[in-house]
Amino acid sequence: MILTSDGMLTSLEICAGGGGQALGVEQAGFHHVALVEYKAEACETLRLNRPGWKVFEKDLREFEPTRDAGVSTVDLLAGGVPCTPYSIAGRQKGADDERDLLPAALQLVQALRPRALMLENVKTLARSKSFALVRQHITNELNSLGYEVHIQVLDAKDYGVSQTRKRTLIVAVQQGLKKFQWPTGDWELPRTVGELLLNSMKSRGWPGADEWARLADDIAPTIVGGSEKHGGGDLGPDRAKRRWAEMAVNGDSTVAEVPGPDFVLQHGVGRGGWKGYPKLTPEQVALLQGFPPDWKFAGSRTAQYKQIGNAFPPPVARAVAAEIARVLLDSPSAAAA
C-alpha cells in the first residue's frame, strides 16, 4: 500500500476533465499524486479549485508517470476515458476511433501496477453487444495482470444526484485483496430540479421563481456535454429539450445569469414551445451534476458547460471510491504494507 506521510491512500487521475471524478475520489479519502488532462480549460479548472494538485496538461498517450510525475506506483488509478468512441453520438467506433484511450489506460495499469483501477464510460460499453469483444479484452488483459474485474452500470439518481445518468464503471482490484462490492446504502432521494435550483433562480429577484419551481417537479434528464468537435452549446438534441420543457426549462443554450425581476414565464412560445422558459446557467447545471456550489469552471461558457456535461458526478465517484478504499484498507496485506 502506498500511503502518503499523513496516512492517505494515493491515486493517479487520468482524463481528469473538469474534476468530477477526481473530486469524488478525493472525498473518499485518496490523495492525488498527479492528474492528467490535455484540454487547457479543464486543466485551468483543476488548478483553480485545487492549487496544490499536480496537473499535467498533455495527451495521455504521451504521459510517462515516472519521467513526468516521479510516480512509480499508486493505490488507485482512476479516470473517465473519452466516451465518444463508445457512444451512439460517436457512432460507436470503439477501438477504431482515434479518440479511444482505453489501450493507453491499460498500458498505465501494466506500468504502475496499482492496487485498484476505476474507469468510467458510457453505459453502452457495458451493455451493447457491439462491445462484447471489447469487454472481454479488457477483462482478459486485467486478469492476466492479476486483477479481479467488475463491470457495472450505475445510475447517478441512485446516489442522490438530481439527474438520470447511467454510466459504466470498470473496477479492478488486485487478486488476493478483499472482495470488492458495488456501493449500496440509503442515500437521500434526489431533489427535483425545482427544489435544487429554486434559491439560485430567486437570487436576482425573479418573482416567478416559486411558480417555476413547482413546474420543475422532476429530476433532470441526462445532461449532455457534447464531444470535442461537436455540441456543448445547448442541453442536447430536441428529444432532450422536450424533456427539459416539461420542467419549464429552455434547453436551447445556457445563459450567463439567472432571470431578473422583469423575466416573464410564458408557455407555448416559439418552436417546441419552450422559448418562454428560463435557461440554465453553467453553475446551475453543475449543481445538477452533483458538484458543490464552490467548484468553479474556467473558460468560455460553452467550454464550462462541456466540462460540466461530460463530468462524472462526484457523489457517484465518491461512493465507488469509498468501497475501493475499504477493500484496500481492510485487506490483510494492508497491515503488512
47 bridge partner residues: none
Q: What is the per-residue pLDDT for 131?
A: 86
**Measured between alpha carbons, how far is 319 from 113 in angstroms, rounded to an integer?**
23
263 Cα distance to chain centroid: 33
Q: What is the per-residue pLDDT for 253?
A: 93
Q: What is the dihedral of CA 240, 242, 246, 251, to 10 degrees?
A: 70
Helix (H, G, I), strand (E, B) or coil at 331: coil
Domain extent listing, the chain? 9-184+312-336, 193-308
Identify whether the C-beta of residue 235 lies closer than 8 Å to the C-beta of residue 226.
Answer: no
Q: What is the per-residue pLDDT for 95?
A: 45
**Measured between alpha carbons, how far is 327 from 217 in angstroms, rounded to an integer?**
39
Q: What is the per-residue pLDDT for 90?
A: 42
Residue 265 CB neighbours (<10 A): 17
Long-range contacts of residues 93-98, Cβ cutoff 8 Å, at least 24 apart = 94/130, 94/131, 94/134, 95/134
Class in CATH terms, 9-184+312-336: alpha beta
Phi-psi group of 19: left, alpha or beta (phi > 0 → left; psi -120 to 50 → alpha; rest → beta): left
pLDDT tens string 235-262? 988 899 999 999 999 999 999 999 999 9
Helix (H, G, I), strand (E, B) or coil at 220: strand
In the chain, the amino acid numbered 159 is Y
C-alpha cell at 60: 495521455
pLDDT tens string 11-44? 999 999 999 999 999 999 999 999 999 999 999 9
φ/ψ of residue 284, rounded to 5: -70, -40
Q: What is the per-residue pLDDT for 232?
A: 62
Residues 6+ apart with CB under 8 A from 332: none
Residues in the chain: 337
Q: Quote the radius of gyration of the chain (alpha carbons, Å).
A: 20
Regions of the chain with pLDDT less than 70: 1-6, 83-99, 226-232, 332-337
14 bridge partner residues: 36, 79
Which residues participate in catalysis according to the annotation? 83
**Measured between alpha carbons, how far is 163 from 62 in angstroms, rounded to an integer?**
35
